[in-house]
Each structure stands twice: as C-alpha cells, then as structure tokens.
C-alpha cells in the first residue's frame, strides 16, 4: 500500500471517537518499531518528520526507510512534515513526496498566519497533499520551536481562520506543551476551549501537539541508570483519551518515544558494560519503541483495529 493522506483517516477517527497517533521519526529503529506496533495492533499511523530530522538523517534516507516500511506493512500510513516554518520548506516536502505538511506560522500575527497558511494550502492542494496549521501557541521546547509562554487558542478566531485558509486540520493550544517538563503543578487541559472550538467547527479534525504523557517508569529508569530528569511530567493519558473521543483526530507523540529509547539504552549499558555492538543495544531499544507505541494506540488513541 502506498503512502496516503490523513483525510480519510481523520474522517473515520472523528466519526469513531478515536485519534491517530503521529509519531516523530529520526532513524531506522524508530520507523521499524512504530510500524511493527501498528501492524500488531492493526492501527493506521502518521510518521512525522521534523526539520531537525531532515537535517540529522538526510531526507532521502528517511524517505527510503519509510517507503520500505510502508510497502511491507499493509497499513494506511501518512508521512507528515512537523512544524514547517516557511512556505519554502513546506513546498520542498510536498515535492519530496510527503502526503501531509504542517505550516506553523503561530509566531506571526493572526492575519500573517492566515496569509502564509493559505499560500501553503494552495500549493499543497494542487499536488494532492493535505495541510495542518496552528492557531494559538504552545509553551516548551521542541528543536527549533521554542516558546517560554503559551497562548490558548481563541475559539472566536477558528471559523475565520479555517474558512479563509482552507486548511485540512488545525492544531490548537489547550494546555499541552512541548518537551518532557510540561507541568510544574497539577496537569490540566482546557476542555472548555476544545468544546467551544468543536461547536464552531463541526466535523473538523483538531490536532494536539506536545501530548506526550512522560511515563514515570521510563523517567525512573533513566534516573536510576545515570540520568537526571527530576521533575519530568507529561499530560495524563486519561486526559488525552478524553480528547481523542472528541474532535481531536491527531495526537503528536515524540518525547515518550525518546524516553523509551534512552531508558532502554541506559539500562543496557549498565547491565552489559563490555558490549559495544550497536545492534546489541538498539535491538531492545527498538522493542521499547514498539511497546510504547502499542501502549499509546490501545490506552490513549483508541485506534486499535481501525486500519
């Protein structure tokens, strides 16, 4: 099965009360682990590539790895640009064979955000590619995306934004944040804002960024084997599952995969100090990715057996 767009995925997810997991990938082990989890749970998948991943791995390598995995998977899989910050990078990704791109112009004014998003939409739609945009601003750090202070999405702006840009999905800010240190106090999502946006955009797919739950068992393993992640805290999985039952059709997960990999490798090195073959420690790391993604599909997204 070739790569697909997220359009049909989101339609089914909205109607079925579940979400599609959008998992960031940077290397072969991540791609293999995520696709293997999707196969075992029979779940559709979105594989996300950030601008940082493009620089780290070379887009041609990543595209070849994804194409190989997709060909053997039998699953509907979408390849998505995460946090594209310019028309040029979005255009390049469309030309490179992505089936979905995100234009993140949330740093700009409302009018400039709409103008840039609309320009990306016009090019992408002409080439059969769907577009995600962002309204509001998430706090936290994710590669080049840095914001000390978040800004909730204004529900009174969403109709005009979607109507004038013709984007296919909208990332909103309701209390999630980038990175592994999301909350200093009690985690809370603004479901009242989500509900108001739902009422203004019926049957329209909403996206949550910064939605890793930062499982404490991985934080504890990292700390036990020489790490220092004191205070790492994410979005509770029950809150994310509630969002997935509503209009949220795409939930982004990156930090949790990184935590699973790092915890596995740290533990392996401590238990096998004489080993130096990357295959020895990357094999259990790949399995840790698979188990993490399966957990998300079953407990958070609700997308098992939806492929």
Residues serving a catalytic function are 82
**Bridge partners of 219?**
none
3-state helix/strand/coil string of 226-292: CCCCCCCECCCHHHHHHHHCCCEEEEEECHHHHHHHHHHHHHHHHHCCCCCCHHHHHHHHHHHHHHH
8-state DSSP, 206: E
Phi and psi for 254 in degrees, rounded to 5? -135, -55
Element (H, E) at 171: strand 169-172
Which residues make Cβ contacts (< 8 Å) with residue 75, sequence separation at least 6? 1, 35, 38, 39, 42, 43, 44, 45, 307
Q: 300 with 240: CB under 8 angstroms?
A: yes
Q: What is the DSSP string of 12-78?
A: HHHHHT--EEEEE--SHHHHHHHHHHHHHHT--EEEEEEHHHHHHH-HHHHHHHHHHHHHHH-S-EE
Provide the phi-psi class of 202: left if phi over 0, else alpha when psi is between -120 and 50, else beta.
beta
What is the strand order of the sheet 177-178 is part of? Answer: 145-147, 139-142, 177-178
């Amino acid at each position: 099965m070739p790569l697909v767009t997220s359009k049909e995925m989101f339609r089914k997810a909205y109607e079925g009360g579940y979400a599609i997991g959008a998992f960031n990938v940077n290397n072969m082990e991540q791609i293999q682990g995520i696709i293997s989890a999707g196969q075992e749970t029979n779940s559709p998948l979105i594989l996300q590539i950030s601008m940082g991943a493009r620089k780290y791995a070379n887009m041609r390598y990543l595209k070849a790895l994804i194409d190989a995995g997709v060909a053997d998977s039998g699953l509907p899989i979408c390849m998505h640009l995460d946090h594209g910050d310019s028309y040029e990078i979005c255009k390049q990704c469309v030309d490179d064979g992505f089936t979905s791109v995100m234009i993140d112009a949330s740093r700009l004014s409302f009018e400039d955000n709409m103008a840039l998003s609309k320009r990306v939409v016009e090019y992408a739609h002409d080439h059969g590619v769907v577009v995600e945009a962002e309204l509001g601003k998430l706090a936290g750090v994710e590669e080049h995306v840095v914001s000390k202070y978040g800004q909730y999405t204004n529900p009174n702006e969403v109709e005009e934004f979607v109507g004038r840009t013709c984007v296919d999905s909208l990332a909103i800010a309701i209390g999630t944040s980038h990175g592994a240190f999301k909350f200093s106090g009690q985690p809370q999502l603004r479901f009242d804002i989500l509900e108001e946006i739902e009422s203004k955009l019926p049957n329209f797919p909403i996206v949550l960024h910064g939605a890793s739950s930062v499982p404490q068992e991985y934080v504890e393993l990292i700390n036990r084997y020489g790490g220092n992640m004191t205070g790492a805290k994410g979005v509770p999985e029950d809150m994310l599952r509630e969002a997935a039952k509503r209009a949220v059709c795409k939930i982004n997960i990156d930090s949790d995969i990184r935590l699973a990999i790092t915890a596995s490798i740290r533990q392996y090195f401590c238990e096998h100090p004489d080993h130096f073959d990357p295959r020895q420690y990357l094999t259990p790391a790949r399995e840790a990715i698979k188990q993490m993604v399966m957990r998300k599909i079953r407990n958070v997204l609700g997308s098992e057996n939806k492929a």
